[in-house]
Amino acid sequence: MDSLLNAKLLNEKPSEEGQPKDDPFRSVRLKRPLATLLQLVLFGGAVGLACLPLNIVDSWQAQLLHGLPGFNNQAWHLGNLGQALAPLVVMPVLLWLQAGRFKAGAGSGIPQTIESIEEPGSASTLLGLKPTIQRLSLWTAASLALMPLGREGPVVQVGASVALALKKRFPRLLAGFSETNLVTIGAGAGLAGGFNSPLMGTVFVFEELTGRFLPSVVWPALVVCLTAALVSNLTGTPVFILGLIQDPEAEWVQLVLALPVGLVGGWLGGLFARLLFSVTAWLRPKVNRRPLAWGVALGGCLALIAVLSGGLSGGDGEALMGHLLGDGGSLPVPGSPIDVIGWLLLLAARLVAPVLALGAGIPGGLIDPAFAIGAVFGSGSLELLGGNGQLGLALGMAAGLAGATQLPLMTILFSLRMMGDQQWLFGMLLSAVIGALVGRKIQPEPIYHALWGLGKKPIKSPVP
């Protein structure tokens, strides 16, 4: 994306003010700063309210997951077994809808937002009311069926869609901002509202969406993201979403362990992104030609994996990470070779299951699944070596997400927001940087942009 923007800017003649004539992220000219600030707050509040239902659905998913044996150590019975087998029924229906009436709602939502920013003429089609409602409906059904996917795709689209709708309905609102500016800020605010993390949403704007640091965009993004997070937090999201680690480790210990955990965790995150891209490219035309057959096959695989893992493979991964953190970071690793095999199988399940769901085009996100992959690896590996499983969980989370997204700064801010304060900064910073570097070797193109490019390719023989 950087190269696309830079090439575009180099080919444009600067205006009198030194800005490229058609720069979509041109500097904002404010005549009434206080009025603009109030409008930004109202904008952020609208995005936060729009994200609120998604956060409620996510909390419902967590409640359902805690009824499964892997979370409560109880036996399988007819009720929770039905929950684990839900993908077998729900997946064919969702793929059938995506191949037909709900075709506009298929996919994550982030590639569609990126295209709307890069090609503003497509924004009304990709971010309109119809595709947004379709995507949220598909994601809600998949989440309540405990499919292993996150929510950053839908919340990013929600924020961008709110921005576009406000600009269309009230053209004089935030008149100093271009439509592209507002869509970009709204996308970041959606992420902030969905995860109660305003700094994460702001950094996502310039680290992923604009490809460059623009003060004229960043300061409004901070205001909008902060307001969106405050409003969406009406559901009572805790300050540290997963919990607070009580046993700090010295900085030098964190740095020593961050190197191996960052290398392997980043490799796992990069592998996750690479598999997601490859499986999406392979599955997309097949699913659109035979959605019911592939829905039964993929849903059956997800249901089988969920049953075999006791439900630990289900959901976005936050419930699993909170469970590990609440239980002292405990995984059944040190006891026997069978426990080690169980840990490795859980790691494989958390890697494969999200790829099957997201690769089929089910709306969702990869942030929480990538976090979970790194958390399971880091926690289990350090416990296996007799170390601190909680430290391993923290380092692994950062490495896994940075390896998958290649966004180390966003990863650090989100990691600290999820499970602790800056006592973990040294280790997670090194782990995230190493993870991002390793992930780039495995999946050279950042995954969101790779999926965007893949989505622009035509699909042959779609089901009408």
The reply to whether 31-235 and 251-455 are identical in fold is: yes
CB 435 within 8 A of CB 400: yes
pLDDT for the residue numbered 340: 82
Give the 3-state secondary structure percentages of the chain, helix then strand then coil, rounded to 5: 70, 0, 25
pLDDT for the residue numbered 176: 79
Q: Token digits for 250?
A: 């010295």
pLDDT for the residue numbered 308: 92
Given a cut of 70, the residues of the chain with pLDDT beneath it are 1-31, 235-247, 326-338, 420-421, 456-464
14 forms beta bridges with 20
pLDDT for the residue numbered 244: 65
pLDDT for the residue numbered 104: 92
pLDDT for the residue numbered 238: 62
The per-residue DSSP string of 127-169 comes to SSHHHHHHHHHHHHHHHHTT-S-BSHHHHHHHHHHHHHHHHHH
- Contacts of residue 170, defined as CB under 8 A and 6 or more positions apart, other chains included, come to none
pLDDT for the residue numbered 12: 38
Answer whether CATH 1.10.3080.10 is correct for domain 251-455: yes
pLDDT for the residue numbered 217: 81
Tens of pLDDT, residues 28-67: 555 677 888 899 999 999 999 999 999 999 989 999 999 9
Q: Which residue has the tokens 């979970």?
A: 372
Domain boundaries, the chain: 31-235, 251-455
Q: Which CATH fold would you assign to the domain 31-235?
A: Clc chloride channel (1.10.3080)
Which of the 8 DSSP states describes residue 464? -
- Other CB atoms within a 10 A radius of the CB of residue 386 amount to 8
Beta strand spans in 198-263 (E)? none
pLDDT for the residue numbered 338: 61
260-283 as b/e: b if 16+ CB within 10 A: bbbbbbbbbbbbbbbbbbebbeeb
